[in-house]
Chains A and B, each alone.
Chain A
Amino acid sequence: GDQVEQSPSALSLHEGTGSALRCNFTTTMRAVQWFRKNSRGSLINLFYLASGTKENGRLKSAFDSKERYSTLHIRDAQLEDSGTYFCAADMSNYNVLYFGSGTKLTVEP
C-alpha cells in the first residue's frame, strides 16, 4: 500500500546550496530509515531514527512519529551527493520497511 509518500521526486541543487527531502506517513510508524542509492546501484544506510534528530556531516534527519513525517536536510551540497534518496518506514516490531518512491538528487557545478 501507499503508506509512505516521498517528495520531491526530483531535485536539482547547485554546489554549496541545500534543501530538504520529506516523507509523510499515512499511519504511525515505529521508525524511519534513509538510504542513498549510489551510482553502482548499492543502497547506503544514512540514518535510522526512532525519534528526534540525527546529524552526520552535511546531512541531518528528523522524525516525528506523532505528526507522521520525516525529513532529510542536505547542506552545502557536493557533486558526490548526487543519487537517489529513499526513506523507508518501519511499521512493526519485525523491522519490515515500507519505502518511498525516491528522490533523484542532481548536484550541479
Chain B
Amino acid sequence: EAAVTQSPRNKVAVTGGKVTLSCNQTNNHNNMYWYRQDTGHGLRLIHYSYGAGSTEKGDIPDGYKASRPSQENFSLILELATPSQTSVYFCASGEIGGQDTQYFGPGTRLLVL
C-alpha cells in the first residue's frame, strides 16, 4: 500500500505569515495532489502535479502555490496566510489511469489566526 506522509500534522499561523505544508510519498507515483476539506464542501482540489517540476492549478488555487522538487515531495505554500485558509489539508498520490486509486495522507490541520 502506498505510503503518504504529511508534515506538520497541526499548524497554527498568524495572518500574513508564510506557511509551507509538506507531503512525501514513497511509492514512486507520478501524480500528487493537494486538497482542502471544509464542512459542506467536501474535498476540493487546490493544486496537483504530474511529476517533478510540474505544478497545475486545481479548482481553488487562489492564495496557494505548489512546488514539486522531486518525485517524492510536493509542497503547498501559503505566502500570505489568511483566516479563510483555516482548514484541513490532504495530500494524495496516484498514477495516471489504470486501476490505481489515490492514496491519501493523514491530513494537516491549519489554523490561521
Interfacial residues, chain A to chain B (CB-CB below 8 A): 1, 4, 6, 33, 35, 37, 40-43, 45, 48, 50, 86, 88, 93-102
Count A/B pairs, Cβ under 8 Å.
Answer: 64
Q: What are the residues of chain B within 8 A of A102 when measuring CB–CB?
A: 42
Query: In B11-42, which residues have CB < 8 Å from any A CB?
Result: 31, 33, 35, 37, 40-42
> What sequence of 0s and 1s flags, for each residue 70-113 of chain B, a beta carbon within 8 Å of any chain A beta carbon?
00000000000000000010100011110111111111010000
Q: Are A42 and B96 in contact (CB under 8 A)?
A: no
For the complex, give the distance between the alpha carbons of A89 and B42 in Å. Answer: 13
Q: How far is the CB of A73 from chain B (nearest CB, A)?
A: 19
The answer to the question of B50 belonging to the interface, with a C-beta cut-off of 8 Å to chain A, is yes
Most chain-A Cβ atoms within 10 A of its Cβ — which of B40, B96, B97?
A: B97
The answer to the question of B3 belonging to the interface, with a C-beta cut-off of 8 Å to chain A, is no
Instruction: Give 6 new A-B contacts, CB below 8 A, not counting A93-B96, A97-B33, A101-B40.
Output: A35-B104, A45-B104, A48-B100, A50-B99, A96-B48, A98-B59
Report which of B31, B43, B103 forms a contact with A94, defined as CB distance below 8 A: B31
Report which of A40, A93, A100 forms a contact with B97, defined as CB distance below 8 A: A93
Q: What are the residues of chain B within 8 A of A101 when measuring CB–CB?
A: 40-42
Q: How far is the CB of A68 from chain B (nearest CB, A)?
A: 18
Q: Are B42 and A1 in contact (CB under 8 A)?
A: no
Query: How many positions in chain B have a CB within 8 Å of any CB in the partner chain?
Result: 30
Q: What are the residues of chain B within 8 A of A37 when measuring CB–CB?
A: 37
Q: How far is the CB of B2 from chain A (nearest CB, A)?
A: 9
Q: Are A6 and B99 in contact (CB under 8 A)?
A: no
Question: Which 10 pairs from chain A and chain B are nearest by CB?
Answer: A43-B104, A99-B43, A99-B42, A48-B101, A101-B42, A42-B106, A41-B107, A95-B94, A45-B101, A102-B42
